[in-house]
Amino acid sequence: MNRRHFLRAMSTVSIAVPILTACGSNGNSKRVPESSKPPAGSPVAVPAVSFAHGVASGDPLDDRVILWTRLTPDEASIESIHVLCEVAEDPAFEHIVLAENLITGPERDYTVKIDAAGLMSERHYWYRFSVGPRQSPVGRALTLPMPGQYAKHLRFAVCSCSSYPHGYFSVYRMIANRTDLDFVLHLGDYIYEYGEGE
Q: Are 143 and 62 in contact (CB under 8 A)?
A: yes
Helix, strand and coil percent figures for the chain, each rounded to 5 = 10, 40, 50
CATH (one of 2.60.40.380, 3.40.50.300, 2.30.40.10, 3.90.550.10) for 3-24+26-34+45-192: 2.60.40.380
The secondary structure of residue 137, as a DSSP letter, is P
Mean pLDDT along residues 24-43: 51
pTM above 0.75, yes or no: no
> Does residue 23 have a pLDDT over 70?
no
Q: Mean pLDDT over all residues of the chain? A: 80
Domain extents for the chain? Answer: 3-24+26-34+45-192
pLDDT tens, position by position, 149-179: 887 888 999 988 888 777 778 888 899 899 8
Q: Are 96 and 78 in contact (CB under 8 A)?
A: no
Q: Is 7 helix (H, G, I), strand (E, B) or coil?
A: helix
For residue 31, give every residue at least 6 positions away whose Cβ sits within 8 Å of its Cβ, in sequence order, or none: 100, 101, 102, 103
Across 177-193, b (16+ Cβ under 10 Å) vs e yields eeeebbebeeeeeeeee
Residue 42: its pLDDT value, please?
44
